[in-house]
Amino acid sequence: MITIKQRDMLHHAVVEYSRQKSVKVTTAVSAVALEVGVDRNTIKDIIFKKAGCTSATLAKLERFFDSTNLTKGFKGNKLAEHLDEWIGSKPTKPKDMINSPSHYASGEVECIDAMVSAFGLQRVQEYAEIAAFKYNWRSNKKGNPSEDKSKAIWYLRYSMGDDPRRS
């Protein structure tokens, strides 16, 4: 059975490959699968669906971890704690706090695009609908109500398939 640490190491390797080669996460999954010597869907299932794997696949993963520099710097088994460090580059300057806030980007990759790569467009659009509700709910309860309302509109548009960054 694959451990949480091994799953996170595999995810780390995919994210690191994506960062080093400046490619999408889906391309990185394919490349890492080729390196490990397993089907691309096996890698996706292990990382994103938390699926188990055979002992043969586990042995291939262990050899991969030992032989690659993609897992160097891995510091534990809590994915979220290390994600920013793994991505590694400084955020780009924002166009504005609504359409492209710097704290939601790493290099040229925006968080919402990475989420689509990881979870699929439908799930991210559902998340966006919930985020729109949240921003609207709190709009008069903190610093800048106008900004929160604009963010609510942004997320609502995204949830309906209209990416505001493309307009």
Distance of CA 35 to the CA centre of its chain: 21
* pTM of structure: 0.43
Extended strands (E) in the chain: 105-106, 109-110
**Per-residue confidence (pLDDT) for residue 101, from 0 to 100:** 65
Res. 89: pLDDT tops 50: no
> Which residue matches tokens 């695009």?
113
Q: Nearest 5°: phi and psi at 35?
A: -60, -45
Residue 126: pLDDT band with limits 50, 70, 90: very high
Average pLDDT of the segment spanning 140-150: 83
Of the listed ranges 47-61, 87-101, 147-161, the least confidently predicted one is: 87-101
Average pLDDT of the segment spanning 62-88: 58
59 class by beta-carbon count within 10 Å (0-12 exposed, 13-18 middle, 19+ buried): exposed
Give the DSSP H or E segment for 116: helix 111-119
Spatial separation of the C-alpha atoms in residues 16 and 10, rounded to whole Å: 10
pLDDT in tens, 13-44: 887 777 788 878 778 888 888 888 888 888 87
> Which residue matches tokens 């080669």?
21
Looking at every residue in the chain, the average pLDDT score rounds to 76
Res. 79: pLDDT tops 50: no
Res. 127: pLDDT tops 60: yes
> Token pair of 117, please?
């790569």
As its CATH architecture, domain 4-87 has Orthogonal Bundle (1.10)
112, 124 Cβ separation under 8 angstroms: yes
Higher pLDDT, residue 86 or 53: 53
Q: With CA atoms as reference, report the closest residue to 9 among 72, 57, 56, 60.
A: 72
